[in-house]
Structure 1
């Protein structure tokens, strides 16, 4: 049992819509998946991975969900540099 202390920055997950609750006009591959919310915040109480916890977001809202990640980070990017675009805007 690994206890994550209150105040730790974490990511939680909560299912907002189960597949059977999703709109019927969605493509089948979309409709067959749950609609999931992932949100980061500070733990309001000690918690464990996989347990239901409450977090406070950066704007002060409380959210409840399953603890998934401790100290989450961003993994997206805007892709590789496109050299042809570097000269847009008048720079030599």
Structure 2
């Protein structure tokens, strides 16, 4: 299903910064063979567009940037994973050590 965006929607565009031919020869082969891409969020300036269309956006700081519409209303889907057992008590331990250091001064 194609995603459609309309003027002033918050969108993410993609730009190709370097094609594989423009990448450094000193890079690992797996890196060299793919383009270097950049994703930028902003408000759509075109009337309407679908994912894959070339569009222009305005970023939060007022820059106008063109690229390929990647998605409308993007959301962050990353996380920091499970809590690590070694870190659960680290904050309390640091506070305890700092209090001890203050007492010894």
TM over 0.5: yes
Number of residue pairs aligned between Structure 1 and Structure 2: 92
Cα pair 2:3 2:72 within 8 Å, conserved = no
Gaps of 5+ in 2: 97-105
Query: Pairwise CA RMSD of aligned residues?
Result: 1.9
Counterparts of 1:74 and 1:62 in 2: how far apart (Å)? 22
Counterparts of 1:62 and 1:41 in 2: how far apart (Å)? 9
1:76–1:17: structure 2 CA closer, same or farther, 3 Å change rule? same
Task: Please give the TM-score of this superposition, normalised by the length of structure 1.
Answer: 0.88
The one of 84, 88, 91 aligned to 2:90: 88
Partner of 1:14: 15
Partner of 2:66: 64
* Structure 1 residue ranges (4+ consecutive) displaced by more than 4 angstroms after TM superposition: none
Q: Decide which structure has the larger Cα Rg and report it.
A: 2
More helix by share: 2
Post-superposition CA distance 1:10-64 (Å, at most 9, x none): 0111111110000110000000000111111100122322111111112221110
Gaps of 5+ in 1: none
Task: Please give the TM-score of this superposition, normalised by the length of structure 2.
Answer: 0.78
